[in-house]
Amino acid sequence: MIRIPISEKQKEEMEAIYWNWMERYHLEKLLAIIAKDAIFKELVMDGKADLLDALKTYLFSDCDELERQKSRIDNMRAENKYIKQETEDYLKARYENFRNSQAAKIVQVMNLTVCPYCNQNHLNLVYQEGKLRYWGSLDHFYDKKTYPELAVCLYNLIPVCKVCNQLKSCQKAEIAHPYQYKKQSSIQFKTVFDDKLDLDYLQGKSQNFRIAIEESQLTQEDKEEIRLFDLEHRYQQLKQNVQEIIIKSKAYDAVYQKQLESEFGFSREELDAYIFGYTDNHLNRVLSKFNLDMVKEFMG
């Protein structure tokens, strides 16, 4: 739902953390595994001459590249070509190791504190015995059961909450890759009011309305996301938030706005964000996207 912009500097840092982990502890064994598995080798080499170079490129495939690799794997399967069980087990075990030892550092570099799929749950980083630990989940965008070949590709791993990870792991869906920043999501929340005779909800006095998602702009990928993560149901419980926003929007009139602006020295945009609880990119505040949509609906 929320795309994750990753700057060149962040990419560099993430790849440095990854490669340090790989080179120090696993590279030698991985190269030996590749040497013994012709199918996996073909996949990694991808027509290149230098194995180490090819491996690095493979492991750091971006979202477009991952999509291409996935197609290559599908084609190989069609020809009945599979990587060896030993390779699969090794890659899955490396993933577990990466998750336990490196995910916290990656999440920190990404500056991500909220799940990008639902924008409802925190991704907690916790200090435990002097070590930073990540308590959220890592989603394999291309699931590791179907595509174990991509189990340790850095950009196939997406920090998400446990609820979303569970929902995604037990269903198939074609959604947009969260690192695909160019493909913005069109998911937009709104309220729907059925009973024309009761307008109390517009005063924030009743919960006689429903929270819905605007359907007119949705792409196929957005629709899949809504279904996969059960977004409409998961947002129904937020009527209280809507009421608060309606009441705040009434209390926060032009005179009060001016007063706040001069008293605190904030811009109008900054004040709106603080009062109604949203941020620019939605990735470090829960419900930021929802709150912003509600503010747009009720404040224009």
Footprint of Zn ion (CB under 5 A): 115, 117-118, 121, 161, 164
User: Least separation, in Å, of the C-beta of 123 and Zn ion?
Assistant: 9
Least distance to Zn ion from the beta carbon of 114, Å? 8
Alpha-carbon gap, residue 27 to 163, rounded angstroms: 33
Nearer to Zn ion, 69 or 119 (CB): 119
Q: Which is nearer to Zn ion, 121 or 208 (CB)?
A: 121
Q: How far is the CB of 287 from Zn ion (least distance, A)?
A: 12
Name the token pair of 225: 């996301």
| Bridge partners (DSSP) listed for residue 137 | 160
Distance CA 149, CA 135 (A): 25
CA dist., res. 178 & res. 171, Å (int): 18
Closest to 170 (Cα-Cα) out of 229, 122, 220 = 229
Tokens representing residue 266 in the block: 């904030």
Q: 84 Cβ partners below 8 Å, 6+ apart?
A: 36, 37, 39, 40
Q: How far apart are CA 154 and CA 283, in angstroms?
A: 20
Q: Which is nearer to Zn ion, 121 or 206 (CB)?
A: 121
Residue number, 158 or 164, with CB nearest to Zn ion: 164
**CB of residue 166 to Zn ion, shortest distance in Å:** 10
Q: Residues 287, 293, 298, 300: what is their CA dihedral angle, to the nearest 10 degrees?
A: 140
| Closest CB 161 distance from Zn ion, rounded Å | 3
Alpha carbon dihedral 43, 141, 145, 57, in 10-degree steps, equals: 20
CA distance 230 to 169: 14
Complex with Zn ion: residue 37 or 139, whichever CB lies closer = 139
Nearer to Zn ion, 57 or 121 (CB): 121
Q: Using the 8-state DSSP alphabet, how is residue 148 labeled?
A: G
Q: Given the complex with Zn ion, which of 71 and 166 has the nearer CB atom?
A: 166
Nearer to Zn ion, 106 or 164 (CB): 164
- Answer whether 194's CB lies under 8 Å from 169's CB: no
Query: Minimum distance between the CB of residue 112 and Zn ion, rounded to whole angstroms?
Result: 12
Task: State the nearest-atom distance from the C-beta of 40 to Zn ion, in Å.
Answer: 32
Pull the structure tokens for residue 147: 């595509």
Q: Are 288 and 279 in contact (CB under 8 A)?
A: yes
Least separation in angstroms between CB 246 and Zn ion:
26
